[in-house]
Structure formats: C-alpha cells, structure tokens
Amino acid sequence: MCDRERGWSEVPLDKTWQLIAGSAVAGLALSVAAVAAAGPWDSGQRKAERDSAASWGLTGGADHGDGPGSGDLPQAAPSAPGVLGGIGPGAARAQSAPAAPASAGGLAAVLKPLLADPALGTARTASVVDTATGQVLYESGARDAMTPASTVKIATAAAVLAALGPEHRIRTTVAPGASPGQIVLVGGGDPSLTAKKKSPAGSGGSLVALAADTAQALKAAGTATVTLGYDDSLYAGPARHPIGVNPNIAPVTALAADEGRPDESTSGPVDRAEDPSRDAARAFRTLLAERGIEVTGEPARAKAAASVQPLAVTLSTPIAGLVERMLTNSDNDIAEALARQTALASGRPASFEGAEKAVTERLTALGVDTAGSRFADGSGLNRADRISAGLLTGLLVKAADPQRPELRPVLTGLPVAGFTGTLKARNAGSSPAAGLLRAKTGTLTGVNSLSGTVVDPSGRLLAFAFLTANSPGPEGAEKALDKLAAAVATAS
C-alpha cells in the first residue's frame, strides 16, 4: 500500500466571489509562472494574490484616503485599459461577457454520464457547490463516507488553521541540560526544520542558524566544550505510521531535519532515516563543531533543565506556508506534523489517536457535518480514514468565506491544473481547465479522489469533490476524474 502522489468592499456576498473569480481568471495565466518557479509557500503565490487583491479596489492616480476630510479628495482617475491579453485557454473567456451560470440540471446532465465511466471503479460519490451562496449544484452520495486518500489533507489543513491560525510558527530550541556542561536540542515538531545551508522551503526552521546562535551563546558564557542531548518527547504514541516502513513517510517524531531524507530530495517517495531524531542531533553536533564548539560523545536522549530560558531558538515556516506546501506536494510528513500540532493546540496527546480526536473537534466547531468521518491520520495513507464528498466541499466553502480569512491557505495551497504540484501534468496544455482548476489529488491502490475549486464560465468559484473506490487502475481513474473536473469548469 502506498500513496502514489507525487487570496471587501461592500459588495453583496453572493457577488463577491464572482468578482474575485473573474479577476483571478484574467490574471492567473501571468501569475502561475511565478508560482511554479517559487512555489506557493515561498511567496510567489501570495505575491500574485496580493497583486490581484489590490486590483479589486479603486484604480487610477488619486489617493484614496479614509481619514478626516477624505470626502473632499478628488475621485480616482480612470485607469488605462489592459495592454496585454490573458495567456492560455481561459483567456478568451476572461475577456468576453460572462456566460450564464450553469443550472443544477444542466450540470447533472453533463456529470452523470462521466460518473458512469467504469474506470472510476464500483463506488463513486460527488458534490459540487457554489462557494459564494452555498447552493448545491450537484451531488451523488455526497454524505457517504469513503476512503479519501490524500484529499483528507484538506481536512488536516482546515483543522490546524482553525486551531493555530496562519501566522503561528513552531519552535525548535536549545536549552541547558540537567547535567553540568550539557545542552539539549528540543524538538517542537517543525516539519520545515532543515540542516541545509539554504532551506528548500524558503523561510523556516534552520539547524544551521540554531547552531550559530547556540555557539555564540556558549562562547559568550565561556563554554567551548559540551555534551549534547536531544528531546523528541513532545509527541506520544508510536512514531511509525500504521502502514509500516514506507518511502512516502518518515517516522513521525517531534525532531527531524529534512523529513528524514538522506538525499537532496524535498518531496516524493524516498527511503527515510530509521531514527530521524538521532540523525538531526548528529547533524546539529557537526554544525556546532564547525562553529568552534566541541561536542564530546554521542548525542543521547535527554531532558532540558526545568524552568530555564533557551540558549537559542529557530522558528518554522508559518502554518500557512506549511499548509500550502503540504497541499501542493501532497507532503505526508508535513500532514502528520500538522495533525499533531492540532492535537497539542487542543490539549490532546500528540499521537495518531489524539490528532484524530482534535481534528474531528476542530472541524465540527467550524460547522461542517463530520458524521461518519474518521481522521485516523493526517496524510490519508491510512485506509481507515473516512470522509464524504459533501464534507470536502463544505470545508472548501468555509475556506472561501470572506469572514474566515484564516482558512484561506486551504485554497491557495491547492495545486493549479497544468502548472504546479501534483496537478502539473493533469488537465494541462489545451485542457479548458488548465489554470482555472485547483485541486487536491488522492491515490491509494484502488482509491482515487479529486477535490478543489474551479472558476466556471459565468465567473463563479465552485467547490467540487469526487471520491471513488475499487478502480481497475490509477491511470484510467485519474483521466476520468480530470474529465469530471474539466466538465465543472466548462458547463454552461
């Protein structure tokens, strides 16, 4: 068993996302190149969306003040028309009058025969919802709980953002140990922690910077020789995922550098370290030695002295960035770390079981129907996971709600069809959904799923989810799912 997967003014709420979606269509083709180059977690996506958001307000050369006397300011000068047309298959749509919204009946007529494709297996469920109004446009078995594979990461993302907020950062610290001359590297569960000189995830936890700060603090105190302990006790329960040893996930520990990867890879399957905590401590020992601190003996598990201030601290990528990276690359290690952070924020043990309860509680508090759901892990590698198509679209609608900006990374992290992450090669090229569709993929043997958002011909942002089981093969199932998603993008 393995996982094969590789952004208001006072506008009526039902119109807000139509305006946003229309703007996104016109600008997306120009922004996706930057996103593909930098990755959404490395500011490319956010810069593009900030630029897009700036375009929603008044335009022109006037200063739009809102302080005293601002009513006497001149009106905005008219802006010049766009010089360059949009690029890609959606360009003509963006520059022409919006089409009439697809009716529920019309969408059903298109989706039903596509859902009957035998390549999807013997069980398939579907849900399509208008994110602005919450109107259900199509559903079939939308409340049936299915094995979701990696689409469960949408639930993990929503839960951790609800629990901690998008700006929270996870701490990795070095503190004095309980014995004289000892320091302890204390893991906080940062999945972005790296021993590389340049972080592959942009800003994030750095053992290199932590070693430099630790060495400076020790030298200032007149200490040049230490013993090194490491503490990964923040997490509880088994470190190994129930699937066992698997190249898609490392042991889940509170202290790991570069996801326990022994090579230069930053995503995808690769054999992992058996003990990521020990290896992170060994890497830290080497970094200290390079900075003039002698570490005697082998690093060993230890506890920091009680009630002491850390010598040095390094902070993770913000939760928003971790969520985006997790969704774009379908990163299982980040997913399990975020599920445990949800547990910790909820007062639960940071274990698979504690995370399951915490995620369920957080999603229920968001107001979505979790009946029949189970979040046995955060990544979707566990076949015991259960989630419905209706729950997935419900979470996407919540993430699109202007009143819930803390959930927005659930949308901004989704791969873009034909451009980024696990959708780079799907609905690509001349597909009418290229650049307009963003979705999380899900693949286990016999299980295939796809859930995300798409801009329809009328400019509406629609949320969709398709879950299937018992497919004869992944290639046919993925192509059938892509046809379904493209149909949502083009139905009118």
Active site residues: 150, 153, 330
What residues contact 80, with CB distance under 8 A and at least 6 apart? none
Rg (CA), the chain: 24
155 token code pair: 């639930």
Give the Cβ contact number of residue 167 at 10 Å: 10
**Identity of residue 411:** L
Measured between alpha carbons, how far is 397 from 330 in angstroms, rounded to an integer? 21
Give the Cβ contact number of residue 307 at 10 Å: 5
**Identity of residue 152:** V
Terminal Cα distance for the chain, rounded: 40
Strands 225-231 and 437-444: unpaired
The shares of helix, strand and coil residues in the chain, as percent rounded to the nearest 5, are 40, 15, 45
Kindly state the helix (H) or strand (E) to which residue 127 belongs, with its residue range: strand 123-130
DSSP code for 149: G
What residues contact 85, with CB distance under 8 A and at least 6 apart? 91, 95
Cβ pair 338, 378 in contact under 8 A? yes
DSSP code for 386: B
Measured between alpha carbons, how far is 118 from 385 in angstroms, rounded to an integer? 24
**Identity of residue 419:** F
**How many alpha carbons fall within 13 Å on the CB side of residue 11?**
13
Collapsing DSSP to helix, strand or coil, 465 comes out as: strand
327 token code pair: 């969704």
DSSP code for 375: -
Cβ pair 426, 486 in contact under 8 A? no
Cβ pair 455, 447 in contact under 8 A? no
Measured between alpha carbons, how far is 448 from 149 in angstroms, rounded to an integer? 7
Phi, psi dihedral angles at 366 (to 5 degrees)? -75, -15
Measured between alpha carbons, how far is 292 from 47 in angstroms, rounded to an integer? 40
DSSP code for 245: S
37 token code pair: 């180059």
**Identity of residue 285:** R
